[in-house]
Amino acid sequence: MAEKEKIDSQDHGSYNYKMFNFFNRKFKITEVEPPEDVKAAFSEYVGGGSEMSADQLRRFLVEKQGDVDCTVSDAERIVERIVRRQPDASTDAPHALKIDDFFHFLFHDDLNGPITEKVHQDMTAPLSHYFIYTGHNSYLTGNQLSSDCNEILVLHGRTLTSPVSLLKCLKSIKEYGFVSSPYPVIITLEDHLTPDLQAKVAEMVTQTFGDMLYYPESDCLTEFPSPESLKNRIIISTKPPKEYLDEEEASGMETPNNSAEPDSDYRSDSDQEDEDFDVCDRKSGQIGSPEYKHLITIHAGKPKGALKNSLQVAPNKVRRLSLSEQEFEKAAASHGTHVVRFTLKNILRVYPKGTRFNSSNYNPIIGWMHGAQMVAFNMQGYGKYLLLMHGMFRANGGCGYVRKPNFLLQKGPVSEVFDPEKTIPVQRRLKVKIYLGDGWRLDFSHTHFDTYSPPDFYVKIFIVGVPADNDKRKTKIIEDDWSPVWNEEFTFPLTIPELALLRIEVREYDKHEKDDFGGQTCLPVAELKPGIRSVPLYDKKGEKLKDVRLLMRFQFE
């Protein structure tokens, strides 16, 4: 085995690898240099000088970075934070950025990230106008059959998972449901309760949540309330008791049954979701609890009979329809515009098929392009599709609600709706330039990628969206460098940029084995800020790496 000796660890250093006592390989780690585009931007705004004032920085941010609302005070705060003041500098000396300071600012993702970190979309529209971060069986910690369950489990039917009391679940939601977002938590109950137990659940829910619980005055909503009006509120979605379902049956909705099919959603402590509990009792035959019925804000059901009938839009009420991924694929293929029309005012939930025992997921894009608000995911199953879900919901400040594009919210002049099968011309072109990357030497051990040499990094770039927009590119491999410089640009034509996601993955080339993973991220194209930006990377589980980031530029044409 090789023995590694650290020679120097200041701003730059070198590492000496002793290999089998035959020879030494010495690799120097140097501090990253500003790219030529960064130097050119600095020179353009300092007017021949060597320092950039706060006002000059403001002009750069407005004109080049598209931060049109930036004020001199905003720029002054950035300068104050970035400037590396000398010990003998006067306290009242004017602060300004040198080229290295300017580069440091651009490479600082907290100050110059790729997307807006605040809620900025209109939150006053009905819930049906939003994509909602939705989990499936989120109480599981692993696979769907025998994994352990955390404290928010009720019951996962026909499996070896152990139950947890409903009261524990409700108390957990009350305590943690709004830690990361003030927008509403939707609790979806898969109800197999007898009427007396429905009354008991109603009492538990009202006593636990108190004023946090929202429920409508009327039995049936004609339009869903808005996320803004439901801030810090909890709402219930389930099938109403059987005897109240006459109207729903007439429109193709399924009546409750005693099946134990899992049907769940939950909002985690880091993202907005909705929670489903399989609350069961095998007795039946009593009159339903009116108290329980009164608490149901979103009336839900599954298709019964012809699928097209289930997608009919009632003129005076709104509801939620749940489809498995297979049912949804059939509906999208045969009744695509009917699905879109249904989701203009009603809520559609798509959930993973039951055979995904390993908690894998499906492509969410097809759901979103048909207007499905709740594309439910196995949040405990990692992979590229869950990464896409994370990417979509980084939009709008990560609050868990993303407003659907206008074309999925409106009818045309003759009441036509968006047709997902229709060919659309290119609307915009996205130019992505990858300058360089840094931080691996801080987040990984120096032998993590290669035992005897520095890593050989390259970047894979994907556009994931409607079929016409899907694309992928790859940079060249930079050999033996902890701080690789690529300086490569790619152009992506987009027909529906509103649904496009930019997926970025760094790999370390290995000619003998599978290439090593070096970080990834996924970003909503519609939210990308123009200009030179710092892009932080995440590990395979979606946890942010502390120091690894890329310097990139985004331009729209």
Domains of the chain, with CATH numbers?
1-26 (no CATH), 36-106 (1.10.238.10), 127-408 (3.20.20.190), 428-556 (2.60.40.150)
Element containing residue 196 per DSSP (H, E) = helix 195-209
Model pLDDT for residues 52-109, shown as the tens digit of each residue: 999 999 999 999 999 999 999 999 999 999 986 555 455 555 689 999 999 999 999 9
> Catalytic site residue 192?
no
CA–CA gap between residue 478 and residue 465 (Å, rounded): 29
User: pTM for the whole thing?
Assistant: 0.85
Q: What are the distances in angstroms from CA 476 to CA 169, 434, 489, 553?
A: 50, 11, 11, 18
Torsion of the alpha carbons at 167, 288, 299 and 360, rounded to the nearest 10: 50
Residue 241 near residue 292 (C-beta atoms within 8 A):
yes
- Catalytic pick from 129, 136, 192, 390? 136
Closest CA to 188 of 277, 71, 103, 269: 277
| Residue 367 Cα to chain centre, angstroms | 15
pLDDT for res 218: 79
- Catalytic pick from 95, 104, 156, 446? 156
With cut-offs at 50, 70 and 90, classify the pLDDT of residue 383. Answer: confident
How high does pLDDT run on average in the chain?
A: 83
Q: Is the pLDDT of residue 337 over 80?
A: yes
Q: What are the distances in angstroms from CA 295 to CA 132, 187, 546?
A: 21, 11, 44
Tokens of residue 125, six digits:
């529209």
Eight-class DSSP state of 88: T
Q: Which has more pLDDT, 525 or 384?
A: 525
Q: What is the mean pLDDT of residues 475-502?
A: 97
CA–CA gap between residue 442 and residue 147 (Å, rounded): 34
Tokens of residue 107, six digits:
């490479």
> Catalytic site residue 390?
no
Strand locations in 119-164, DSSP E?
A: 130-132, 134-135
pLDDT for res 168: 84
Tokens of residue 48, six digits:
């021949």
Q: Is the pLDDT of residue 286 over 80?
A: no
Eight-class DSSP state of 452: S
* 487-523 per-residue burial string, b: 16 or more CB within 10 A, e: under 16: ebebebbbbbbbbbbbbbbbbbeeeeeebbebbbbbb
Tokens of residue 84, six digits:
């590396």
pLDDT for res 301: 86
